[in-house]
Amino acid sequence: MESYIIILLCIASFLAGFIDAVAGGGGLIQTPTALILLPQQPVSSLMGSLKIPGFTGTSVASLQYLKKVDMNWKLLLTMSFFSCLAAFAGSYVMTIVSNDFMKPLLFLVLTGVAIYTFFKKDFGNHKPKKISYKKSVALGILISVLIGFYDGFIGPGTGSFLILAFISILGFDFLHASANAKLVNLASNVGSLVLFISKGKILWIMAIPMAFCNGIGGWMGAKLAIKKGNSFIRVFFLVVVIGTLIRLSYDIFMKA
């Protein structure tokens, strides 16, 4: 693999780590960059390799959030367990079938998310709503299974979907949603990594330097998000969702 390709991948990985730490969706940058620069590589190998920097960046960002933001540990551990298992299953399915059929559905869902977030100015800025522990666990398991499987099967935008679920379903504000989403996303990365490593799908020559750069980006992004708070994360979240829509539009309409 030529050095200039690794440099470009590392730049993309740094930006992805930064964006993912704030509002999720780092795969929006990292994934297409790898697909464009390495078209000769199997998609499963590229997706597996990108889980390494994704794991590193999410780990670094999670540590920053843990220092400043309160976590609901009982709920998080439960969600993380199911997210890990679901991502493993999703990655296994991804190695044997195409995931293109899901893109039109995601396009419709994200369009609704972007419109709702844009017009509802207090979305993610309200005081957390009270939900019983049993209900929050049941909803958390459902969220973890669906989004965890999505992360293993498709990937890009997982952090954004988790943040959206924490806000709209579990009643978190943007800052706490972003912090808690990181740990659930970290668990889904672990599930996918176990599958990809066991199948020998990791291209370590690109994964290791990208992991370093993604970690730096994740550290900087988390620091900025904690400092700026809910309003900043809301704007960043909107930008990431719109960017994901543009990416999906290209995949659906231009490649058809």
Per-position b or e across 100-117, b if 16+ CB within 10 A of its CB: eeeeeebbeebeebbeeb
Q: What share of the chain is helix, strand, coil (3-state, %, to 5)?
A: 80, 0, 20
Extract the tokens encoding 221. 């992004």
How far is 232 from 235, CA to CA, in rounded Å?
A: 5
The residues, any chain, with a CB within 8 Å of residue 44's CB and separated by 6 or more, are: 94, 95, 196, 199, 201
How far is 57 from 55, CA to CA, in rounded Å?
A: 6
DSSP state of 250: I
Return per-residue pLDDT of the chain as tens, 256 residues. 788 899 999 998 998 888 888 777 677 678 778 877 888 888 778 888 988 998 998 898 888 888 888 888 889 999 999 999 999 999 898 888 765 665 566 667 667 666 666 665 555 455 556 778 889 999 999 999 999 998 888 777 788 789 888 988 888 888 888 889 889 999 999 999 999 899 888 999 999 999 999 999 999 988 888 888 767 777 777 777 777 677 667 766 766 5
pLDDT of residue 251: 67
How far is 65 from 37, CA to CA, in rounded Å?
A: 33
The residues, any chain, with a CB within 8 Å of residue 83's CB and separated by 6 or more, are: 144, 145, 147, 148, 151, 184, 185, 187, 188, 191
How far is 161 from 144, CA to CA, in rounded Å?
A: 11
